[in-house]
Amino acid sequence: MSDMLLRGPLTRFADSRADAAAPTFVYEFRWQSPVDGLGAAHGMELGFVFDRLGSPDALAMGGPDAPQALADAMHSAWVGFVRTGDPGWPRWSTNRPVQAFDGDGGRIDYAPRADELVGLRSR
């Protein structure tokens, strides 16, 4: 369902902007919360983005041992984007760079799981 409702349309939208004057940047939050099987649930990234892992909401969703290195990486990227328009990874292009944020802080993946999106192109 996530692919059909979110990732497929987001990828098509980003593809439509690949040559736009204003760059488009794509990230994917992949850290899996150990709390009640939440995984990488919607909204889970907010404690990391704002570097507020100790806030009640972040603790409820991510637990007390959420990785600070991930918060450092995400917060830095968002602050960089606000200040300069560049979060620190390549803009969207035909290579489809996606900043993958995980427990190690993050890395660039190119066209992650592209084979899974093939059947969603016409929807």
All structural domains of the chain with their residue ranges: 25-110
| Alpha carbons 42 and 53: distance in angstroms, whole number | 16
Straight-line distance from the first to the last Cα atom of the chain, in angstroms, rounded to the nearest whole number? 13
Cβ atoms of residues 72 and 78 within 8 Å: no
Q: Measuring CA to CA, which residue among 8, 4, 2, 43 is closest to residue 52?
A: 43
The reported pLDDT for the residue numbered 121 is 54
Give the 3-state secondary structure of residue 108: strand
> What is the reported pLDDT for 47?
96
Do 75 and 108 meet the contact criterion of CB atoms below 8 Å apart? Answer: no
Q: What is the pLDDT along the chain (123 residues), one digit of tens a residue?
A: 666 777 788 888 999 999 999 999 999 999 999 999 889 888 999 999 999 999 999 999 999 999 999 999 999 999 999 999 999 999 999 999 999 999 877 889 888 777 766 665 554
Side by side, the strands of the sheet bearing 27-29 are: 27-29, 97-101, 107-110
Question: Residues with Cβ < 8 Å from 60, sequence gap 6 or more?
Answer: 35
pLDDT number for residue 123: 46
pLDDT at 76: 96
Q: Helix, strand, or coil here: 100?
A: strand
